[in-house]
Amino acid sequence: MTDRYAVIGNPLGHTKSPLIHGSFARATGQDLEYSAIEAPLDGFKAAVNAFRAAGGRGMNVTAPFKLQAFEIATELSERARLAGAVNAMKFDGERIAAENFDGVGLVNDIQRNLGFPLKGRRVLLLGAGGAARGALLPFLAQQPAELVIANRTSEKAQALATQFASFGTLRASGYANLAGHSFDIVVNATSASLRGELPPVRTEVFARGCLAYELAYGKGLTPFLRLAQGAGAAHLADGVGMLVEQAAEAFEWWRGVRPDTRAMIEQLTVPLA
């Protein structure tokens, strides 16, 4: 019997999840069907319950429902609990197990695909919203030499630094306080690029030979990546690898088999130009 999975969000016209998981299923010989469910903004729980009642085994969760998925989960992983958000669910009877693979997908892309080990590196994370929150635990697990969270509202960054202080060394900063500091890896986890804008960061944060990583994907050379390029960053990347890697984590969690990600990343990559 074919197992059913889906991605749920609103809007979903842009989603690559059915393409990714369909490819993973064919490559690993898994008998599954994967669809997209664009739930009404006020109908998330009803849509999830209907999918479960119809035999659904699991779901990926995207904007704007990650917080609502957190609320309906009966079992939360530590990553999901600390992120305060859920991007994957697994159903078993009345149980709703929940995970957040966004951060581990980002770490996998940076380390495995781009060849930048985080251990001993100076890392700057721009933004203190949900994307940044989901990345903190996986980042700290890799033992960077320094992890700095920078945000327009430094109090919000400080709240995150305090919450995650027991998991490793990190500090909070406002953008103005970054003067005189440079980093080996700079990750833009703000929403600025989605609006074609630039976070208020100076070129000096990009150390010689650094990696500049843009969480947004498929947008080419965003203002953030253009700034990094002009500052001499040696490596530029967008979030397509993170997208595929987090999908692979969910697929393995559901099916017990790890799909190869290289071909799908190559297929979805848009030139940074």
Q: Where are the domains of the chain?
A: 3-100, 103-240
Q: What percent of the chain has pLDDT over 70?
A: 100
For 220-229, what is each residue's pLDDT tens digit?
Answer: 999 999 999 9
CATH assignment of 103-240? 3.40.50.720
Give, to the nearest 10 degrees, the angle between helix 130-141 and helix 154-163: 40
Residue count of the chain, please give it: 273
Residue whose entry in the numeric block shows the structure tokens 């929940």: 98
The pTM of the full predicted model, rounded to 2 decimals, is 0.95
List Cβ neighbours of 70 (8 Å cut-off, separation of 6 or more): 76, 80, 84, 85, 86, 98
- pLDDT score for 16: 96
- For residue range 82-109, what is the model confidence (pLDDT) as tens digits? 999 999 999 999 999 999 999 999 999 9
Q: What is the pLDDT of residues 5-52, one digit of tens each?
A: 999 999 998 899 999 999 999 999 999 999 999 999 999 999 999 999
Enter the CATH code of domain 3-100.
Answer: 3.40.50.10860
Active site residue 156: no
Instruction: Kindly report whether the peptide bond that precedes residue 11 is cis, defined as omega within 30 degrees of 0.
Output: yes
Q: Is 159 exposed, middle or buried (0-12, 13-18, 19+ CB in 10 A)?
A: middle
State the average pLDDT over residues 187-208.
92
pLDDT at residue 74 above 90? Answer: yes
C-alpha to C-alpha distances, 150 to 9, 29, 82, 240, 266, nearest whole angstrom: 28, 44, 19, 23, 31
Q: Can you tell me the mean pLDDT for 182-210? A: 93
Is the distance from CB of 32 to CB of 3 less than 8 angstroms? yes
Tens-place pLDDT, residues 112-154: 999 999 999 999 999 998 889 999 999 999 999 999 999 999 9
Half-sphere exposure of 110 (CA within 13 A, CB side): 27
CA–CA separation, 20 and 4 (whole Å): 15
Calculate the average pLDDT of the chain: 96
State the DSSP H helix or E strand holding residue 98, giving kind and residue range, or none if neither.
strand 95-99
- In terms of DSSP bridges, do strands 88-92 and 95-99 run parallel, antiparallel, or are they unpaired? antiparallel
Please determine whether the domains at 3-100 and 103-240 fall in the same fold group of CATH.
yes
pLDDT band at residue 196 under the 50/70/90 scheme: confident
Q: Active site residue: 45, 66, 90, 156, which one?
A: 66
Question: Can you give the pLDDT at residue 192?
Answer: 85
Read off the pLDDT of each residue in 250-261 and give the average, rounded to a whole number. 98
User: Which spans in the chain are helix H?
Assistant: 17-28, 44-53, 66-72, 78-83, 102-108, 130-141, 154-163, 223-230, 240-255, 262-268
Residue 195 has a pLDDT of 87
pLDDT at 9: 97
Helix (H/G/I), strand (E/B), else coil: 195 = helix
Helix pair angle (17-28, 240-255), 10° resolution: 50
